[in-house]
Structure 1
Amino acid sequence: MNVRMRMAILATATTTLLASTIPARVHPHVFAEARLDVVVNPDHTVKSLRHVWRFDELFSSTVLMEFDKNSDLKLDDAELKDVADTVYKSLAVYGYFQMVTVNDKDVEMKPPAKLIANYDHDQLIIAFESEPKKPLKLSGKVDFGVYDPSFYTAIDFTDDANMAVENLPSECTRTVVRPDPDEAIKQNQSKLTDAFFNDPTGTDMSKIFATRLELNCPAQG
């Protein structure tokens, strides 16, 4: 499978989850460390989500081989743009792996204007910023994260500090939630069909395992 095809099915999951609860044939092939910054406006609405993903050296080297058209063992600006455009088109069908909910109800996000690709210390870095389609007020329980519809790539937040909030209102609390796989399955047993256990890549339920940033704010009338 070439890099372009891999990018077409990039996904997010945790290594622990995959090792303990998912059938053996489903496991990540690509790994990345992530950072998410939620930017809040003065009126307590969400301005944007800023994502940065740093991919593992093995996958990054395959990207280099695929996109280094002039064979100079580096990615110039034009080649990096090709990488970014490929990822952008590939992830569009998955909503760029973003999970945003208010009181457990999905929030629609605008597609990012663009993705930026960089290659630093033998690692591919992807960055993008997105905004809610409609004003998103911090009220009640608001969750942010990424999740994996195909369990192909493990994009993980290695430190709680990598899920941050800029201008968090003083009345709100911030928590990083790392679900226990067994507990997540138990709590969502009624929603999980045989199809999930037979082929989890064909469902949308992998988001129940995703690490998420949970903000709790006083409910607005």
Structure 2
Amino acid sequence: MRPKSVLLKIGALLAALFAATLSARAHPHVFAEARLDVVFESKQPAIQALRHLWRFDDLFSATVLMEFDANADLKLDDGELQEVANTIHASLADFSYFQFITVNGQDMEMNPPASIMANFENNQLIILFESEAQTPITLAGDIRISVYDPTFYTAIDFTQDANMAAPGLPSICSQQVVRPDPDTVLAENQQTLTEAFFNDPAGTDMSRIFATRLELNCPGSGNPSP
């Protein structure tokens, strides 16, 4: 078993990489190419869950390998991968696992994933997880789904529009991937995007205005207010 000091170091590593205090000029330090699949209820037109796959950059992946390779064989075995997955699962809990849904501007709650799966492929760390909605999200109205780090420390990148997918979306609904232009966002929100905003280590709701999002629009008024 690893000494407590080493375990604390590992926990601090992931916590720092996923939730670090940002400098005034915030920019990502960790990069991941992502895929999102929206899972629908089989018996009603509603969102049941979000399914995620993230493939991390070489530098972050190498750092994870170095820190979690307990037997120094330059690979991560099943037990070491499980420790990576457990650490990431705990580290992302305070950040809603970087997943956010609104219906007509109202935030919808997602359950934490039961677990996270980790793999190492072509020298890159890959994680997979699925989160269910606390209650099925009715396909009605303006639904916006974003995946982003509210602290700006991790860049979750959907390199192609097809990587934000809603297979099985009813034909009565429309969908589009929206990629906000950073310069336009800054110009339109210059009064609210203060230095304090960029220095908040917990992130702010304003982070979502920069995030790539999947928009679903279906006839109706959406989920009722609680």
Q: Normalising to structure 1: TM-score of the pair?
A: 0.87
| Separation in 2, partners of 1:142, 1:10 | 30
Question: Which runs of 5 or more structure 1 residues have no equivalent in the other structure?
Answer: 13-21
Aligned 1:48-127 pairs, distance under 5 A: 48-127=49-128
Classify 1:140/1:114 alpha carbon distance in 2 versus 1 (closer, same or farther; 3 Å).
same
Kept in 1, the 8 Å contact 2:24–2:195? The answer is: no
| Separation in 1, partners of 2:190, 2:142 | 22
Kept in 1, the 8 Å contact 2:56–2:126? The answer is: yes
| Separation in 2, partners of 1:45, 1:10 | 34
| Separation in 2, partners of 1:73, 1:33 | 23
Kept in 2, the 8 Å contact 1:118–1:124? The answer is: yes
How many residue pairs match? The answer is: 210
CA apart distance, 1:121 = 0.6
| Separation in 1, partners of 2:194, 2:24 | 18
Classify 1:7/1:38 alpha carbon distance in 2 versus 1 (closer, same or farther; 3 Å).
same
Q: Normalising to structure 2: TM-score of the pair?
A: 0.85
| Separation in 1, partners of 2:105, 2:71 | 48
Question: Which runs of 5 or more structure 2 residues have no equivalent in the other structure?
Answer: 1-8
2:6 aligned with 1:5: no
Kept in 2, the 8 Å contact 1:101–1:142? The answer is: yes
Kept in 1, the 8 Å contact 2:99–2:147? The answer is: yes
**Root-mean-square deviation over aligned CA pairs:** 2.2
Moved more, 207-216 or 143-152: 143-152
Aligned 1:172-211 pairs, distance under 5 A: 172-188=173-189, 191-193=192-194, 195-196=196-197, 199=199, 201-204=201-204, 205-211=206-212
4+ residue stretches of structure 1 with deviation over 4 A?
A: 9-12, 186-194
SS at the partner of 1:94? Answer: helix
Return the letter of the residue paired with 1:34. A
Kept in 2, the 8 Å contact 1:118–1:125? The answer is: yes
| Separation in 2, partners of 1:181, 1:50 | 27
CA apart distance, 1:150 = 1.7
